[in-house]
Structure 1
């Protein structure tokens, strides 16, 4: 079972890395929105697969559930893997609007799933009804494809019209003297040939740069936004600060989410309320992911607000949820589940977008996963070593106070506010410390984010667009001794 768990858990990183890294490289100027949307759909994936399972197998069958989890994700990866590829950076004028349309559709899907989850908690559906729900979920899930098809059709028609206009336009060359054969050859030479010869001469004249070992320059990183090597990124102060802040932030929120059922039981909430907490966390986790990605991208583009600043605000915001749990505010667990779910989801797109912006995209796949390592590290420290230990200690104290003896194999149960109070006070302090640490990154990167961090990507997109447009160099002979005029056709 340990081997199965290891393979299953690690297999998730393959499609996650392939999809996120590829999309960030394809849409570098909208990376915040892209990461937010992708991570948002990851947050909804559990609810989507649950509805598909109910429709296919009818539910209430653990063997079929394990079988479904075994074959369905693998089949999806095999079917769609050919569509995931890095393309030339060509920015469409309405690119951001298209992503916002995707956002609105995902919000509709999330709202529909939340309603279905709440209704299913109260009523029992037949397999046919689950089939209808699955059909509605699939329609909402694939609805963005209609926008993509229309956009691709408009782009194809635009290129077709441009090619038609280009073929009808001709350049009239008026010469005073008869051109020589060499001039005629030069006049019809493709620009790629001329540029290629010039490039070859320049390349031959330039000395080849000496290859420097990655270990020699690991403590001499380039400017922020340029492509760091893996060692330069891992040994940089920015990565260390980001790693510590992520351990403190995600460690606390994941601890709250993982123990939400036990927290509700220890504080004497009814079972239906605990189920509602889980649903609220899932939906607000999704909303946090898409909101953090889209809002930070908008404010970064419009007002040059550094993205690490949003990470600091999210960490401090999550402390409200931790305090509500620690002091058992009446009905506070409802609000805490919303705050913690939102805060937990918001940290993921911010973390991965910051890594791509500061350290470049050349080794983004490796650095993306290294940043993700901080998440289980923080969860282990705060969930297992802190919360689990303090919960067991309080449960044993209550057991001794009641005069009962714990039998072999019996689980420890703790009741009352003291079960998680000290643990979440510690988590609050750790999260505040993570927020203060992230301020260091805000200060260090403020000049970088005030600059045009996407300038080079716009230049690459413009160069790719000009290259795709083609062209032909025409040399017009003006006469003896008067030189020539070069024009582009």
Structure 2
């Protein structure tokens, strides 16, 4: 999830290295269509199931996390320097080569983990980890949902018949929808506030980094508080949606630098939703049908984005835009839209709070059961 959050900034660096940042926008769109697909097909032969040693997994995961943080910090420095001082064509190519080397560094962690796994397996008589239990139906992980008892491993129809599913869906519609709407209109918002092209390009790249920090931070913090203090994950969803509402209010103010400050909060909160939602889905509804349930809930994002982008931002922008060229300059262009989106995010926070209270006992039992293993 973390590297997925950084992908936007990495692809923009690739565009600058290949086209110098001055090519036709159609070239960048073609790049977006080809590169992710090419990477996916190149990586497919390496995807397989490996036996693992659970006690040594954490240090390798920590290594991957450290690499992702280093990449994020490096991209932040490069984007800032390019924004303030500018980079020559040769420096753009050199900086992207360094990005490629950093992206290849997780292979070293994987090779080291594989070597340690082979050494450990050779010293053990039996299997290291029996993964078959992961797919066994749970016998006791059930919690009340209205008048029903919902098993942890639910199929999509069973999940959709619960209140918890629709609470999660509605919270995601508010959070992901307003996040999508913000990033989709960020350039037009910046143009209305008279940001330069360099500043707007930097904002798009920095959004990817803030998105990454939200994904990474929400997962780490929620894990820590869940296992150490039995805090249910939905409480962090409520908190991040509240932070998103604050970010929308800051953007709505239209003061100098408000788009930078607001997009930091919105981007981190938006990334947090993509980290928290899949984990909450797997914990509440189980992993057997997790993919189907996860992608069904993910539909909330495009639905919310369409409603807020077209029916809210588009509608209110057209009301204040010039009739001659449909342009608008000033904080009034998006103030009403972002105040509405702030209300939507705040409503999503309240919905997530309801989910928190409904699953509070379930999470306590879940942590207690895991501690017994």
1:295: Cα distance to partner?
A: 1.1
Deviations 1:207-247 (A, max 9, x none): xxxxxxxxxxxx997545x2102100122111100111111
Give, in whole Å, the separation in 2 of the partners of 1:269 and 1:70.
28
Query: Are 2:46 and 1:83 aligned?
Result: yes
Bigger radius of gyration among the two: 1
Match of 1:419 among 325, 333, 341: 333
**Length, aligned pairs only:** 352
Superposition pairs for residues 4-403 of structure 1, below 5 Å?
39-56=1-18, 60-62=22-24, 65=28, 67-86=30-49, 90=52, 92-121=54-83, 122-126=85-89, 129-162=91-124, 223-224=150-151, 226-396=152-322, 399=323
Question: Does structure 2 retain, via aligned residues, the 8 Å contact 1:221–1:233?
Answer: no
C-alpha change, 1:220 and 1:76, in structure 2 (3 Å) is farther
Give, in whole Å, the separation in 2 of the partners of 1:420 and 1:382.
12
Give, in whole Å, the separation in 1 of the partners of 2:30 and 2:341.
38
1:256: Cα distance to partner?
A: 2.1
C-alpha change, 1:144 and 1:131, in structure 2 (3 Å) is same
Match of 1:447 among 354, 361, 365: 361
Question: Does structure 2 retain, via aligned residues, the 8 Å contact 1:292–1:346?
Answer: yes
Deviations 1:337-381 (A, max 9, x none): 211111111111111111111111111111111111000111111
Question: Does structure 2 retain, via aligned residues, the 8 Å contact 1:220–1:232?
Answer: no
Give, in whole Å, the separation in 1 of the partners of 2:261 and 2:340.
20
Counterpart residue number, 1:471: none
Give, in whole Å, the separation in 2 of the partners of 1:239 and 1:415.
41
Question: Does structure 2 retain, via aligned residues, the 8 Å contact 1:311–1:347?
Answer: yes
Deviations 1:134-177 (A, max 9, x none): 331122112122122222212211222345xx9xxxxxxxxxxx
Structure 2: 5+ residue runs without aligned partners?
127-145
1:249: Cα distance to partner?
A: 1.5
Give TM-score, length-normalised by structure 1.
Answer: 0.66
Give, in whole Å, the separation in 1 of the partners of 2:260 and 2:154.
43
Structure 1: 5+ residue runs without aligned partners?
1-38, 167-218, 400-405, 460-489
Q: Secondary structure of the residue that 1:413 maps to in structure 2? A: coil
Give, in whole Å, the separation in 2 of the partners of 1:279 and 1:334.
12
C-alpha change, 1:336 and 1:365, in structure 2 (3 Å) is same
Question: Does structure 1 retain, via aligned residues, the 8 Å contact 2:79–2:206?
Answer: no
1:301: Cα distance to partner?
A: 1.2
Question: Does structure 1 retain, via aligned residues, the 8 Å contact 2:234–2:356?
Answer: yes
1:123: Cα distance to partner?
A: 2.8
Counterpart residue number, 2:352: 438
C-alpha change, 1:427 and 1:294, in structure 2 (3 Å) is same
Q: Secondary structure of the residue that 2:189 maps to in structure 1? A: helix
Q: Secondary structure of the residue that 2:123 maps to in structure 1? A: helix
Greater shift after overlay, 355-364 or 51-60?
51-60
C-alpha change, 1:135 and 1:272, in structure 2 (3 Å) is closer
- The structure with the largest helix share of the pair is 2
Output the aligned Cα RMSD: 2.7
Deviations 1:10-52 (A, max 9, x none): xxxxxxxxxxxxxxxxxxxxxxxxxxxxx22112112223333
Counterpart residue number, 1:178: none
Deviations 1:411-463 (A, max 9, x none): x111222211211121111211111111111011101111235957996xxxx
